[in-house]
Structure 1
C-alpha cells in the first residue's frame, strides 16, 4: 500500500499546467510537478524507486553520478559520485540492496540502501547496462559488453553465469519461463530459456531497427517493442514472435510502460513527448501526445504511486528535473 505520507504529498500537488476547464475532458497525463536535480548535467539514463523510503534513483550518466531524490519532500537529497557513466539502476527490496551498472568500466556496484554506503562490486568487463531483478528467485540480470546477460545471485552478491548473445543487449524483460532481449545490432529479439539459460529463439524485427525499449503485456500475450527506425511500436506474439501490429510513435524512444489499471501504454521520447496509447481488446491506438522537454526520453512508471516520472536533462535555459505526471482518470 502507498505510504500515507507519500499519498498525502502526491494528492496535494497542484496541477502545474493549469486547471481543466469545467466540462472538458482531462488529458490522460497531467503534469503535477517538476523536481529540480541541481547540478546534474548531460545525459540521464534509467531510474528506480524505493517506495518505503520515498527514494527515486536516477542514473546521471553525464555527471558520473547517481542522483537520489526524496519524493516526499520533492527535492534532490544527494548525489553519489565516482560512478563511471552509470546506466542501469535497480533496487531489490528483499536484500535492501541498490544496484548500479556502469558503462565506463563495466562494473555493477552494490549499495546498502539504508545509508547508501558502498558494499561491493562485480566487474563485468565493459558497458554494463540494463538491470532486471527477480526477487523471488534471488537473481539479478545485467546486460553488458558485446553481447551477454550476467546472472548475479542476490543473497551472496556473486556472479553465477553469463548468457551469451550476438551483440550488446538493450532492454530485456522476464516472464516465468523466458527472458526476452532486444539485440539491436543483430536486428533481433532473442528469447532465452530461464532454466537452461540457452537461447531458444531469435525473432526478426521485420526490417525495423534500433529496438531499445520493451515491455510485456502478458494479459494479451504480447511483447511490445519500441523502435527508433522507423519510430513505431511493434506488437509481437509471445507464442511465436509473429509481428501482429504496429503503431506510429514519437521519435527517439527510450522507455515504454504498461498501465494495467487503465489499459494504457506510455512511451517517452527524446524529441520531447510522451505518447499515450489505449488498449482496446488486442488493438493499440494513440490517444494523446503529451509535451515534455527536448531530450526527455527516460521515464519510469510506478504503479504503486500511480505516477509517470520523466527525466528531463539540463539545457542552456533550464536545469535538469523530474517531471511528475498523474494519469487521469
Structure 2
C-alpha cells in the first residue's frame, strides 16, 4: 500500500466518528422568530420587565414617554401605561401587583433632579403612587422578603430605597460616592449589589439596615461597570463594562473576578435564561452576545448583529425567545424576537 493511500485511509477513520456523533454539525445559528411593528412614532426604548405567569412584557419607550404592555404568547399589544415623561428602569413586584418604573422626567425636571419612581397597578395599568428619586433614577432591584425597592440614581450618585407598610414611602437615600449603574439582589448573601460605574466599584448594601457594608474595587480590565445581573443558581454576578466592551464574571459572595469575555461595543442590558443556562448581553451597537453557563464558566455560543440600537433584551423562559425593542426600523418602532438554534 502506498504511503498516500495509508494516509487517506487514516484520515477517513478519524473523521467518521465525528460525523456519526454530530460533532461535524453546523454551528449554532440565530433565527428571527417574529417581527411586530409597534404603534406610534419611532423613539428610544430602555428596560423591559416580564411577568411570565401572566404573559405580559412591559416595554419602556423612553423616547415616547410610555410603557407598552405586550403579550408574547399571542404576539399582540394589549395596553400601555401613560402619564410618564421618559421611563427608564422597570422592576415588577407581582406579590404587590405593582410595577415600579423609573422616570427621570424631561426638560427642566432632569436639569433640577426632579426624577420620580412611579408605582403602577399590574391589574389596571394605572399609576397609583409616585416617589421622589432625584436626578436620574434608572435600574432597580426588588427584595421580596422585605418589600423594598433599591433604585440606582445614575446622575445623582445615590441609591434610593422605597418600602415600608402601605402606603409605601422613600425610606432611605444612600450616598454612593459616584455614578450609580445598575442594582441587583443577591438572595444567597442577602445583599443588594450596586455598580458605582464612575469609580469602578461595586458596593454591597444590607437591605435590612439599608447601610453599605462593603465596597469592592473591580479590576482595570473592566471600564465603566454599568450593567449588572445576578445568577443565584450558579452564585455568579455578571458585569457589563461599557467602557471597553467586556463582560466581567464575579464569584458570589466574594465578588472576586472569575472570567473576562469580549462583548459588542457599548454593552448595556443583560438577561438570564435560567432554564437553558444561557446569558444574553445586548449592546447599543446592536451586537448581541450569548453565552452558555456551565460549572461556573462561560462559553461564547454566538455573537452578531441583531438590529439597530438593540441594547435592551428580555427572555421568555417558556420558548427561549429573546425579545428586542428597536427604536427605528424603516421609520417605525419594532419588537423583534430572536432564538438561538443549536447546531
Aligned-partner Cα distance in 1 for 2:341–2:27: 7
Structure 1: runs of 5 or more not aligned: 1-22
Aligned-partner Cα distance in 1 for 2:119–2:274: 31
Deviations 1:188-247 (A, max 9, x none): 111122233222222222223221111223344322111122111112232433222211
- Residue 149 of structure 1 pairs with residue 159 of structure 2: yes
TM-score for the superposition, normalised by structure 2: 0.81
Instruction: Please list, as runs of the form range in 1=range in 2, the aligned pairs for 1:184-223 lying within 5 A after superposition.
Output: 184-207=197-220, 208-223=222-237
Other-structure match for 1:295: 309
Larger radius of gyration: 2
Other-structure match for 1:20: none
Aligned-partner Cα distance in 2 for 1:71–1:148: 35
Other-structure match for 1:224: 238
**Aligned-residue offset at 1:328:** 4.1
- Residue 277 of structure 1 pairs with residue 294 of structure 2: no
| 1:170 and 1:183 in contact (8 A); partners too | yes
**Aligned-residue offset at 1:68:** 2.0
Instruction: Please list, as runs of the form range in 1=range in 2, the aligned pairs for 1:57-206 lying within 5 A after superposition.
Output: 57-104=58-105, 105-144=114-153, 145-153=155-163, 155-176=166-187, 177-206=190-219
Structure 2: runs of 5 or more not aligned: 1-23, 106-113
Other-structure match for 1:16: none
| 1:36 and 1:320 in contact (8 A); partners too | yes
Aligned pairs, number: 306
Other-structure match for 2:48: 47
Aligned-partner Cα distance in 1 for 2:255–2:119: 35
Q: CA RMSD in A?
A: 2.3
**Aligned-residue offset at 1:28:** 5.8
| 2:227 and 2:239 in contact (8 A); partners too | yes
**Aligned-residue offset at 1:163:** 2.6
**Aligned-residue offset at 1:304:** 4.7
- Residue 247 of structure 1 pairs with residue 261 of structure 2: yes
The structure-2 alpha-carbon separation of the partners of 1:85 and 1:262, relative to structure 1 and needing over 3 Å to count, comes to: same
Aligned-partner Cα distance in 1 for 2:263–2:160: 31
Aligned-partner Cα distance in 1 for 2:147–2:124: 22
**Aligned-residue offset at 1:295:** 0.6
Which has the higher mean CA deviation after the structures are superposed, 173-182 or 231-240?
Answer: 231-240
Aligned-partner Cα distance in 1 for 2:253–2:150: 23
| 1:40 and 1:60 in contact (8 A); partners too | no
TM-score for the superposition, normalised by structure 1: 0.84
| 2:52 and 2:316 in contact (8 A); partners too | no
Other-structure match for 1:286: 300
